[in-house]
Structure 1
């Protein structure tokens, strides 16, 4: 829906074959995935700063007894958060490491 509104504002249709990234860059809008990642990390910081007896802190560390059902495991909120953190860490590590800059040349 977001991209549809941006395209409408820019006067660009799908028939014009303009990429979504180009439309987003024109309006200087970050992708929704980035905004969601920022919101998750912001909420996680909020939860970590809370007292240990609050519901959100207890729920974060809650271990549910029993086995998980067969099949592909459903992704939990903390799993998603760790993936976000890992991607962010890799990005900063590559920028800080001069060896990776040499490899790009």
Structure 2
């Protein structure tokens, strides 16, 4: 939908040229953003990934808290706790990690 459309100008180098561009579709100006969420990951215009990593850490802690009843119960075998961790917490932490750029 046109009301949800936005664009991201990527600045991967310090020399941007100082050009402020506008994007318009049929006369309607599309808003420019510094970051946006795409397929669950946060894309930043400067190429950094710190916001996405912080978000993944936060989601991982939330999953840990949700599963802490199982993970912290002494009556549950360690092997089962490991399986719960690998199936619940780890995927939340590492979602999208294969696409993170390395500097």
Give the TM-score normalised by structure 1.
Answer: 0.28
Given the two structures, how large is their TM-score scaled by the length of structure 2? 0.28
Bigger proportion of residues as strand? 2
